[in-house]
Chain A
């Protein structure tokens, strides 16, 4: 049972959240312009690193808000997804 820090509610048990997969997979601005491969990549291809992954969670049983965290998939160590770091990505 992970302990997840909701940016609005604080530390809560994992059961209050739903996982939202890899963060920053943006919905394409104009899907019709993508070829089948590019659209397939958007739909199905996600990073699966052994190490840090920026991922989305939603506090479904709490404030219902979405947020991103950085999690080490090997140790489950979690840290906030800092906006300044987002800019540099």
Chain B
């Protein structure tokens, strides 16, 4: 055996192709070695090796072959196996490199379990003029805009500029068009105002000229050769956008139109001219318009036979017919291919006449072939235009959906993307749009004269055929007439959809799954619309309309959107000045907003439950301390600060004396609890408001909104000072001793330092501090605040001052238990935006004497209903059972047939060291009237019985906060 590795590669004297024959590249497809050259795609390399067939179809397992040479490929989808495995890559787009290893797929790939270690990054840029598509129209637009001095960005999917020009044989100014492309590329590359992105897909075109562009930077390189990011996502804000996105050729629908060897006519040209590959030696061409005649001529010029050109039109342009006849092809005008024959690959076609009504005439003839090039016409690539808000209409002259107003407000559409298929027209539109766009962007420039071209894409009116009638079967039985190769959907499927009563193309799409594959309707969409229009006897495909075009234009890995914002870079991490101390103490952390807070401090391999019981016991019987630096702090300053706080808090703050603190609740205008916290009055015109850790930014926004939009005349300024302070809560019966040692100048006695007072002092270590007697645990407690940079010194000093008393650091979990034992709520845990202060039983904090935001809502009838959910305590009857937070609560007697009436749910649930049992808080319908009732919490197939109680479980009299009672 001495066969060439590329038996279908054309001799360089016939077609040079855009490949580097001097170098060979070996890759592996389904375990077979495939040899190609730099410049090949995987599809062209496969075809050069004589491999037409790829993976079988998704549902029916039918043999399929390479069908296109672009991103509309429905069949040749592969899973990359080298590097990080990646699914569903079109072989027609995949550039080969040494070591590439793939498996062909049957319409479904798989996600790798591996971590993708490749780099992905993002760039954010502005540009005066962005041109999408570097075919003749796009190049022309870029050239002119750049000559005007505009900053131009030219984006193209392919390795090389030129669009489809390298696929054809056109001439510009008497020279091959590829030379014109080369000159244009050089001129653009030499202009420093121009950025050319090749191998880059404009994924989406959004409002106000915002584009997302996925640039493949290293995918065509073996892993070991790539450095830097594999892909880059460009966020582009454009002054003006020119869309020169080209057009996609439509397949044709006939019996067994899915056989390997059936290929788009334009793809055949691409393989012959760009890749120097001859996909077949006997090629029948089946067309509805002029463009496929060039395919026939290309095949003939490469030594292939063209036994038949089947044209749906009764009178194809005489010039074309003469041209192909002279080259040796036979034309069948007014005819169709009714069926491809052969299995699995095409070995012939059946040709019959098609009368003016679209019915078959005469006796079908059989013609042998190994390649069937089909052209059902062209679909302008209007995806980006439609995404950016443009509407499309059916144009019967070009037989395609075209932009309704191609010179619209946002994007200008030029060339094939608006149904202009002749080279001169594309250049003229490109020059004009480039000049216009640059001029509007502030760079006045006039379009140049269009050079002399010899048209490669002649224009004659097409005769589209949406589905060739079957020789014997009615439509409902056309189960081998495929409209969507990737989804194995047929004319019979579309027919069945209409039989069920569906009329909308959107419904038919979802019912049949047509155009839901990776090609997203680029090849299947319009044929389906055409078939549907005929089935529904609509006047034109325009009457049916299109489905919605949505980004991304082609599939894109999610990793690209993540970019570098993965892992620790996903979100900023905020830590307190004492963070290293928590780490040293072995803390387990939890995320609270962006903060890392110590959750608990396990000792000697304790689990969370044991550690929390120990920490709770320390706080209730000895002394414990917590880092509370993360609490939000906002300074509210100005002569109207008291008035303002009276309006935003449900309770009064104007009568709070300087030097004292008060707990406050704020509501939305709807009366629902928004946030809570303690505010200190530092001076007549100055408050220090504290917020929940997660609510700080939201509360500041809220205050600003009211100040700016409703009460701009109030003299109030709000400043976030969260980051200026570090704070430690010292909690427990022994906390007075510890704080007394820590702040020797401070009178910490019960008489000298009352509850809800604060004082300025200097700590023993010389650090100025503000100490407040506030308590979120019900115990005697002091909150010591210092300037942030003293945070660690404060922590160390407090630990030192309490060492002989066994001072115990505690985390958020213990804090949660301690406050829940006292029935203190956590906004966002025990509330969820549907809970009012009255629901929480906080009538004491709701002023009757003044208005506040949300007050009027509290008297709406809905708020006064007896069955509103109230905050209650919940005690599992079996004191060992721990209720899961979120568990539903139902009536004991309620039948368990859905829908079971839900009375409420558990919001917080813990084990209590102080109570020696489990307990919970919950929201229960009419809960305050149910105290003493036993409800059930269905959990994992069994019920937990719970008794409804008041929400305060511990020290109901509140004697412990002054340290009076010793535990």
Q: Which residues of A contact B (CB under 8 A)?
A: 1-3, 13, 18, 20, 26-28, 30-32, 34, 36, 39-40, 42-43, 56, 58, 60, 64-66, 75-77
Contact = CB atoms under 8 A, between A and B. Distances in A.
B210 A43 contact: no
B237 A3 contact: yes
A32 B208 contact: no
B701 A32 contact: no
Given A2-B207, A13-B237, A39-B856, A32 B851 contact: yes
Contacts of B860: 36, 39-40
Interface stretch (B60-68, B332-340, B705-713): B705-713
Contact of A3 (B210, B704, B709): B210
Contacts of B206: 1
B710 A26 contact: yes
Contacts of A1: 206-208, 210, 235, 237
B389 interface: yes
Given A36-B861, A60-B701, A66-B708, A76 B208 contact: yes
Contacts of A42: 669
B137 to A, nearest CB: 26
23 contacts: A1-B206, A1-B207, A1-B208, A1-B210, A2-B207, A3-B237, A31-B856, A32-B855, A36-B860, A36-B861, A39-B856, A39-B857, A43-B857, A60-B701, A64-B704, A65-B708, A66-B705, A66-B709, A75-B409, A76-B207, A76-B208, A76-B389, A77-B409
A28 B210 CA distance: 40
B571 to A, nearest CB: 15
Nearest to A26: B710
Contacts of A20: 705, 709
A12 B389 CA distance: 21
Contacts of B705: 20, 58, 66
B710 to A, nearest CB: 5
Contact of B704 (A13, A27, A43, A58): A58
Contacts of B669: 27, 42-43
A34 B856 CA distance: 9
A32 to B, nearest CB: 6
Q: Which 6 A-B pairs have the closest CB atoms?
A: A31-B856, A3-B208, A1-B210, A66-B708, A76-B207, A27-B710
Contacts of A65: 708
Contacts of A28: 856
Interface in B678-725: 701, 704-705, 708-710
A64 B701 CA distance: 8
A31 B856 CA distance: 6
Contact of A32 (B209, B210, B670, B856): B856
Contacts of B855: 31-32
A56 B208 contact: no
A12 to B, nearest CB: 10
Nearest to B669: A43
Given A1-B206, A3-B207, 4 more contacts: A2-B207, A3-B208, A39-B856, A65-B708
A75 B860 CA distance: 38
A86 B409 CA distance: 27
Contacts of A32: 851, 855-856
B337 to A, nearest CB: 45
Contacts of B708: 58, 65-66
Interface in B328-366: none
A27 B208 CA distance: 33
Interface string B201-217: 00000111110000000
Nearest to A34: B856
Contacts of A43: 669-670, 857
Interface string B854-882: 01110011000000000000000000000
B663 to A, nearest CB: 24
A32 B232 CA distance: 57
Contacts of A26: 710
A15 to B, nearest CB: 10
Nearest to B670: A43
A10 to B, nearest CB: 13
Contacts of B861: 36
Contacts of A31: 851, 855-856
Contacts of B851: 30-32
Contacts of B857: 39, 43
Nearest to B410: A75
Given A39-B860, A75-B389, A2 B208 contact: yes
A18 B709 CA distance: 14
Nearest to A39: B856
Interface string B469-503: 00000000000000000000000000000000000
Contacts of A56: 709
Contacts of A18: 701
A75 B206 CA distance: 11
A13 B207 CA distance: 11
Contacts of B709: 20, 56, 66
A76 B389 CA distance: 10
A39 B235 CA distance: 44
Contacts of A76: 207-208, 389
Interface string B454-466: 0000000000000
A5 to B, nearest CB: 10
Nearest to A44: B670
A2 B208 CA distance: 6
B411 to A, nearest CB: 13
A39 B855 CA distance: 11
A51 to B, nearest CB: 15
A27 to B, nearest CB: 5
Interface string B822-856: 00000000000000000000000000000100011
Most buried by B among A2, A3, A42, A43: A43
A17 to B, nearest CB: 12
Given A34-B856, A40-B860, A58 B208 contact: no
Contacts of A39: 856-857, 860
Interface string B179-223: 000000000000000000000000000111110000000000000
A56 B709 CA distance: 9
A29 to B, nearest CB: 10
Nearest to B700: A64
Contacts of A60: 701
Contacts of A66: 704-705, 708-709
A18 B409 CA distance: 26
A71 to B, nearest CB: 10
A65 B704 CA distance: 8
B691 to A, nearest CB: 16
B852 to A, nearest CB: 10
Nearest to B856: A31
Nearest to A60: B701
Most buried by A among B209, B235, B851, B855: B851
A66 B389 CA distance: 28
